[in-house]
Structure 1
Amino acid sequence: MTSPNPTRGTWSLIHAERAALAADLAELTAEQWDTPSLCEGLTVREVLAHLSAGAALNPVRWLAGVVRCRFDFDRQVAMRLAERMGDTPAETLEDFRRVLTSTTRPGVPVTAMLGETIVHGEDIRRPLGIRRDHPVAALSALAAYYQGSDLPVLSRSRVHGLRLTASDGPFAAGDGPEVSGTTLALVMAMAGRADHHHELDGDGVAVLHERHGLGPAQLRALARSR
């Protein structure tokens, strides 16, 4: 009997999240496409182009871009984003639709790609007032990954020394001052989105507030010191 392939299951979750996001954005106005997202400095449209870039970027192309940008990772992200924008919002959305079922990834774990899709999807939806009920199983898998990894965001360092408890699912991890809330709110907080802190409870929320805005070096140093 063949064992279930967890990677295949995660890709199915990613594809479902992409399809749901494309459907949510189908009727946006030009003004809505220009709305600032929760991803600092990027509009809704630019974040969607960034998602398309990530779904089309394999490790070889990623490394080639890094070298081309002289190891300036922010410059590489901006370059790849610009490649996927198109001339109009309709072209940006159509480009995203073309990669809905892609399994290409730039050398990161598949669960990290699930995180990119969910977190950036919320970066887009929240400012537009759109709500999605993500499957708790997908959110729980992502929360567990973020709590134990700093790739691609410094989520583990951000919540080091805190006890995280989901109010709507099985996720619970860590030790220290408690932070409780929905699994989505915990995921977004781990990804560095302070907009979701007001949805959380517990003594550890103040710690998250203090850590928000700290740079990578400061977060890593903080985690090592505890």
Structure 2
Amino acid sequence: MNLSKNEAWDAVHDERLRLADDLATIAAADWQRPSLCPGWSVHDVLAHLLDTARTGRVAFVRSMIAARGDFDRANADGIRRCKDPDPARTLAEFRASAGLRRTPPANLATRLVEAIVHGEDVRRPLGLSGDYPAPAVRGALDYQLRTRVSFGGGAERAAGLRLISADSGAARGEGPEVRGTELDLLMAVSGRPVPVAAFDGPGAELLAARSAQSSIQ
């Protein structure tokens, strides 16, 4: 990741506030709209982002102990803690927590992944467009490509493919080429469904198919 620690946190904080501004404009029914996270509504994703913004290293360890090491259960517990019956109150709490610098015991790039990918998880179903700093998207993509799916990354989804950024021309990996924006490449390797039309090249269909898989064997 080419961003400094302060630059990375600034990008995360700015994105949280932009997302809060976007969600302040949606209709009441949109809060229950399915996000790109299977089984999570737009409101669920916001509650998850609030939980992760508030969760530092000690709290993360405690949550994993309570969940008996099950990440999915820990996430579900966090959503229950932070999801107010009134989405407006969840949103207000999220906005108030936007400047926090808390993180689990993990690479700081995971905070960029969290902010950008979950931002798209709610924006795309709502027909909204995100505006993310190119270095932040690049740092998140690079992290996902070197991290296994079992640890929340996307290395296996990109295996055997050469990803080429339509934004910068940067190439990653070897194999049949796939050209797309770095944001679409990030979403695909993060296991979010991206239509094949978003990509060009002989590897486009394979990456689009893998993007819809939550796990890769």
TM-score, with normalisation over the residues of structure 1?
Answer: 0.88
2:56 is the alignment partner of 1:58: yes
Match of 1:81 in 2: 79
Q: Given residue 115 of structure 1, which amino acid in structure 2 is its aligned partner?
A: V
Match of 2:111 in 1: 113
Q: Please state how far the C-alpha of 1:16 moved relative to its aligned partner.
A: 1.0
Is the Cα–Cα contact under 8 Å of residues 139 and 183 in structure 1 kept in the other structure?
yes
Is the Cα–Cα contact under 8 Å of residues 195 and 208 in structure 2 kept in the other structure?
no
Q: Given residue 11 of structure 2, which amino acid in structure 1 is its aligned partner?
A: L
Is the Cα–Cα contact under 8 Å of residues 140 and 171 in structure 1 kept in the other structure?
no
Q: Please state how far the C-alpha of 1:214 moved relative to its aligned partner.
A: 4.7
Q: Please state how far the C-alpha of 1:207 moved relative to its aligned partner.
A: 2.0
- Mapped partners of 1:40, 1:108: distance in 2: 24
Aligned in 2, Cα 1:77/1:56: closer, same or farther, shift over 3 Å? Answer: same
- Please give the secondary structure, in 2, of the residue aligned with 1:139: helix
Is the Cα–Cα contact under 8 Å of residues 191 and 213 in structure 2 kept in the other structure?
no
Identity rate of aligned residues, in percent? 37
- Mapped partners of 1:5, 1:134: distance in 2: 14
Aligned in 2, Cα 1:189/1:214: closer, same or farther, shift over 3 Å? Answer: closer
Is the Cα–Cα contact under 8 Å of residues 194 and 208 in structure 2 kept in the other structure?
no
Where in structure 2 are there 5+ consecutive unaligned residues?
none
Match of 2:134 in 1: 136
Matches within 5 A, 1:96-175: 96-150=94-148, 152-175=151-174
- Mapped partners of 1:65, 1:172: distance in 2: 38
Is the Cα–Cα contact under 8 Å of residues 194 and 211 in structure 2 kept in the other structure?
no
Is the Cα–Cα contact under 8 Å of residues 112 and 137 in structure 2 kept in the other structure?
no
Q: Please state how far the C-alpha of 1:196 moved relative to its aligned partner.
A: 4.3
Is the Cα–Cα contact under 8 Å of residues 22 and 93 in structure 1 kept in the other structure?
yes
Is the Cα–Cα contact under 8 Å of residues 162 and 173 in structure 2 kept in the other structure?
yes
Q: Given residue 153 of structure 2, which amino acid in structure 1 is its aligned partner?
A: L
Matches within 5 A, 1:178-189: 178-189=177-188
Aligned in 2, Cα 1:35/1:5: closer, same or farther, shift over 3 Å? Answer: closer
* Deviations 1:136-158 (CA, angstroms, capped at 9, x unpaired): 22212222222222374231121
Q: Is the deviation greater in 100-109 or in 136-145?
A: 136-145
- Mapped partners of 2:80, 2:103: distance in 1: 18
- Mapped partners of 2:102, 2:3: distance in 1: 17
Match of 1:221 in 2: none
Aligned in 2, Cα 1:214/1:127: closer, same or farther, shift over 3 Å? Answer: closer
Q: Please state how far the C-alpha of 1:41 moved relative to its aligned partner.
A: 0.6
- Aligned pair count reads 215
Is the Cα–Cα contact under 8 Å of residues 185 and 197 in structure 1 kept in the other structure?
no
What is the RMSD of the two structures over their aligned residues, measured on CA atoms?
A: 1.9
- Please give the secondary structure, in 2, of the residue aligned with 1:194: coil
TM-score, with normalisation over the residues of structure 2?
Answer: 0.92
Is the Cα–Cα contact under 8 Å of residues 144 and 171 in structure 1 kept in the other structure?
no
Q: Please state how far the C-alpha of 1:212 moved relative to its aligned partner.
A: 4.4
Is the Cα–Cα contact under 8 Å of residues 196 and 205 in structure 2 kept in the other structure?
no
- Mapped partners of 1:215, 1:194: distance in 2: 10
Match of 1:48 in 2: 46
2:70 to 48, 59, 72: 72
Q: Is the deviation greater in 43-52 or in 135-144?
A: 135-144
